Amino acid sequence: MKIHSVRIHLSTRGNTEITNITGTVQKELDRSDLSDGIVTVFVPGATGSITTMEYEPGLIKDTTNIFRQLVDDTATYSHDASHTVGNASSHLRATLVGPSLVVPFENRKLSLGTWQQIVFIDFDNRPRKREIILKFLGL
């Protein structure tokens, strides 16, 4: 088994911004000497998440809207009472999705469905510079 590690960087606007990172992950797989294995995609921090979805305008809007319905920005949260940033809703949304994803790959190609893309969701309430860690493990 071999490991190939990469850190990618994004500048985001926050507020449930969804960024398709599938092409970047595939490019890094292409740069590695691995053919078959898995990649873990992980975002450090408590207000960002990694998942898969069909990355198209309607679903992007629907996804943003559903998170706003599930976690109300205007509600009173205990976290906001002890922190000046006022981003409890950002933390809560991120916990619903999680910070990582494992994707298999075969013959140097990510094993994703036709309409399935890897996305980073920035739930924070302000612009951020984000780092995403890619760990490829395979042969």
Q: Which domains does the chain have, with CATH numbers?
A: 2-138 (2.60.120.460)
Nearest-angstrom CA–CA distance, 120 and 132:
9
**Residue 12: predicted pLDDT:** 98
Mean pLDDT of 73-77: 93
Residue type, 59: L
Q: What percent of the chain has pLDDT over 70?
A: 100
- Picking from 29, 41, 42, the residue whose alpha carbon sits closest to that of residue 2 is 29
Across the chain, mean pLDDT equals 97
CB within 8 A of 29, min separation 6: which ones? 39, 105, 108, 109, 110, 136
pLDDT tens, residue by residue, 28-61: 999 999 999 999 999 999 999 999 999 999 999 9
- Give, in degrees to the nearest 5, the angle at Cα 109 between 121 and 6: 55
Other beta carbons less than 10 A from residue 70's beta carbon: 11
Helical residues (DSSP H) of 20-75, grouped into ranges: 22-31, 57-70
Nearest-angstrom CA–CA distance, 67 and 56:
17
Phi/psi of residue 118, nearest 5 degrees: -85, 130
**Alpha-carbon distances, residue 23 vs 61, 69, 73, 87, 89 (angstroms):** 21, 30, 32, 30, 29
**Residue 88: predicted pLDDT:** 97
Which pTM does this prediction carry? Answer: 0.96
